[in-house]
Amino acid sequence: MEANNAELSPYHVDKKVKKSMKNNKYRTYIKKLIKSKTGIVGFVLVLSICFIAMLAPLLAPYDPYKINAAQMLIPPVWIDGGTSNHILGTDNLGRDILSRLIYGSRISIIVGILSVVVAGFIGVVFGLIAGYYGGFIDTVVMRLVDSFLSVPTILFCLVFLTVLNPGLFTLIFVIGVTSWVMYARLVRGETLSIREREYVKAARTIGVSNLKIITRHIFPNVISSVIVISTLSVAASIITESSLSFLGLGIQPPTISWGIMLSEGREYIATSWWLSTFPGIAITLTVLGIIFLGEWLRDVLDPRSRGM
Amino acid sequence: MQKTLKSNIEDDNTQLLYLEDVKKYFDVSDRIFSRKKEYLKAVDGISLKVNKGETLGIVGESGCGKSTLGNLIMGLLKPTEGKILLEGTDLTTLNAKHLKKKRSEFQMIFQDPFSSLNPRMRVFDIIAEPLITHKIVKGKELEQRVLNLMEDVGLDVSYSDRFPHEFSGGQRQRIGIARALALKPKLIVCDEPISALDVSIQSQILNLLSNLQRKYQLTYIFIAHGLPAVKHISNRIAVMYLGSIVELTTKDQLFRNPMHPYTRGLLSSIPILDPTLRGNKQNNLIEGDIPSPVNPPSGCKFHNRCPFATDKCKEEIPSFTEREPGHFVSCHYSIFDL
């Protein structure tokens, strides 16, 4: 037994080396982040929006739901008639726009992330199965994907949402179900190429089961591209959520979302532009931040640029 | 045609693997525009026996079906026809469960060490995978087994936590060898295991393979596209051309007395290092490319590239006969007539 331990020792010593290697890896990630200016912008934007969403009750100067008939349609502070009490002004019911923006970020983040999780899960599972087994299963899945692609996402969502009860989780589910095709196509394509690698052949000669080959050999090698497009599609989901809420089929008032703020401000756009402009800017900045972050992630995770 | 070979085979129990008239046709017919069935005859009737403890080299140009043959032996492809017997058990008729069990007896070493290891797995997990899959050992014992395997193939055990990309080609090939060895197989199919390596590393890997063969009484089927690669390690060599074996004999006989014109061509394609010896070399280089296996030439498949072909070659398929003990050739003529 002692002899065994003596023989094993180099393996255990190596754990320290492994730790330092991991640190090195993170250091190269950080180095790459600092090098990429858009990466930093994206990182800072996304991080601050997450913080704002989490700390909304502390940051918001007013109750976002509180109606104040005496202070309707006050313009932002830098316009004549604006007051420093309401920096971004108030809406048609006298509610503070800044507070509403801060609370609205929560919905956007939740919908954006959860719908991508739903879509990613469905898409990855279908993509792996279609790509690995090929043949008839592949044909069926890909025809399904084609038929989903032939209908515009927003129309799909509209149909679903009019049938189902509108609400936060319905919305997440619907956006997820309508956008899984992107993942399925991507994962299928990657699986097709990885399936032919010799390490998959090696696993088959060993006698590893198909399920294990998929989970241990194929999935870990497609996950990095899935992560990259899922960051990008968080942005798309936020926009879809806003559009659906704008159309009145997404989040229902009085719950606040940026899309609802946009749609409520629409009637006043000629006289009080700030009602819909600020949520619009918020959506743009969030989406831009996520896209920048996604591009940086692609640089870091893409195997082709790895090691450079 | 097979009888001559078969009579030689039946008796002994020294044989490990026996292929009987194995064929693999791939359907390449155009499904939409043509109703005619077309087949790519990748492996077209191969009979072969492999003895315990020997190394059988299989040599041929790219496209001659040697890798398909390797995949057939490994059970990765189902043969269209024929039997593959490993110690009397027909692998082609086993069901999935029994085949999986049997797989521990024959393993494979791959050509490209850069694609044969999963980039997301640590060396330890790569080598441990066969042991875990077949539930042979676990826990502390597993760790010990893997580290022993690493020592066996000349890898530093302290590297067990690293990922494949941290190794050189030669080291990665060692990892692949350790993985193939893990189940203590009887037969290892080496599919061009050194052709992707630096010349300086090739001999190291060959030496490692022959040391392991001695230590574990392994039998190798060594697939390569040129004779130099198999020269050192093989006991017997089979030369393949367009899905069939054209010559099969011991290494010494093959190099001393090649009987098939194709083998002679292969031999004269080996570069001679010493320029002063080059003058004596017979120039038998074969011209042209290997014909399409979808429409192989009639008669002897080699006739359109053979410098000695006659009308008979175009019409009749030559039989695979034993010209001298253990030396099989499929050619109508004896090399001495030509």
**Is pLDDT of A304 > 60?**
no
Could you read off the pLDDT of B196-210 as tens digits, one per residue?
888 888 889 999 999
CA dist A164 to A115, A119, A157, A169, B274, Å? Answer: 16, 18, 10, 11, 83
Q: Find the chain B residues whose C-beta atoms sit closer than 8 A to any C-beta of A.
A: 74-76, 99-101, 103-104, 107-108, 110-112, 115-121, 129-130, 133-134, 140, 143-144, 147, 156-161, 165, 176, 179, 183
* Complete DSSP assignment for chain A: -HHHHHHHHHHHHHHHHHHHHHHHHHHHHHHHHHH-HHHHHHHHHHHHHHHHHHTHHHH-SS-TT---GGGTTPPPTTSTT--TTSTT-B-TT--BHHHHHHHHHHHHHHHHHHHHHHHHHHHHHHHHHHHHH-HHHHHHHHHHHHHHHTS-HHHHHHHHHHHSPPSHHHHHHHHHHHSHHHHHHHHHHHHHHHHTSHHHHHHHHHT--HHHIIIIIIHHHHHHHHHHHHHHHHHHHHHHHHHHHHTTSSSPTTS--HHHHHHHHGGGTTT-THHHHHHHHHHHHHHHHHHHHHHHHHHHH-GGGTT-
* Complete DSSP assignment for B190-210: EESTTTTS-HHHHHHHHHHHH
Q: Which has more pLDDT, B36 or A161?
A: A161
Could you read off the pLDDT of A3-16 as tens digits, one per residue?
444 444 444 445 55
ipTM: 0.84
Q: Which has more pLDDT, B48 or A21?
A: B48
Q: Strands, E, within chain B: which ranges?
A: 15-27, 39-51, 55-59, 81-86, 89-90, 106-109, 187-191, 219-224, 236-241, 244-250, 320-324, 327-330
Q: What is the DSSP letter of B71?
A: H
CB–CB contact B179 A216 (8 Å): no
Q: What are phi and psi of A175, to 5 degrees?
A: -65, -40
To the nearest whole angstrom, how far is the Cα of A40 from the nearest Cα of chain B? 28
Query: What's the mean pLDDT when you consider all of chain A?
Result: 81
List chain A residues with CB under 8 Å of B74. Answer: 205
CA–CA gap between residue B208 and residue B201 (Å, rounded) = 11
* Consecutive 10-residue averages of pLDDT for chain B (338 residues): 46 78 84 74 87 90 86 89 87 87 90 89 91 87 91 90 88 93 92 86 90 92 86 89 89 87 83 68 67 82 82 84 86 70
Q: Would strands B15-27 and B39-51 be described as parallel, antiparallel, or unpaired?
A: antiparallel
Q: Domain segments of chain A: what residues?
A: 105-259+286-308
Tell me what percent of the residues of chain A surpass a pLDDT of 70: 88
Instruction: Find the mean pLDDT for residues A171-195.
Output: 89
3-state secondary structure of B16: strand
CATH of A105-259+286-308, one of 1.10.3720.10, 3.40.190.10, 1.20.1250.20, 2.40.50.140: 1.10.3720.10
Q: What is the pTM of this model?
A: 0.78
Answer whether A11 touches B (CB < 8 Å).
Answer: yes
Ordered strands of the B81-86 beta sheet: B39-51, B15-27, B81-86, B89-90
CB–CB contact A221 B160 (8 Å): no
Predicted confidence at residue A22, as pLDDT, reads 58
Predicted confidence at residue B57, as pLDDT, reads 92
Predicted confidence at residue B283, as pLDDT, reads 61
CB–CB contact B157 A307 (8 Å): no
**Is pLDDT of A295 > 90?**
no
**Is pLDDT of A36 > 70?**
yes
Predicted confidence at residue B337, as pLDDT, reads 59
Answer whether A206 touches B (CB < 8 Å).
Answer: yes
CA–CA gap between residue B99 and residue B107 (Å, rounded) = 12
CA–CA gap between residue A47 and residue A52 (Å, rounded) = 9
Q: Which of B116, B133, B176 sits opposite A208 (nearest CB)?
A: B133
Q: What are phi and psi of A288, to 5 degrees?
A: -60, -45
- Domains located in chain B, CATH noted: 3-324 (3.40.50.300)
CA–CA gap between residue B277 and residue B272 (Å, rounded) = 7
Identify which of B220, B240, B221 has the alpha carbon closest to the alpha carbon of residue B42.
B240
List chain B residues with CB under 8 Å of A8. Answer: 143-144, 147
Predicted confidence at residue A16, as pLDDT, reads 52
Predicted confidence at residue A21, as pLDDT, reads 56
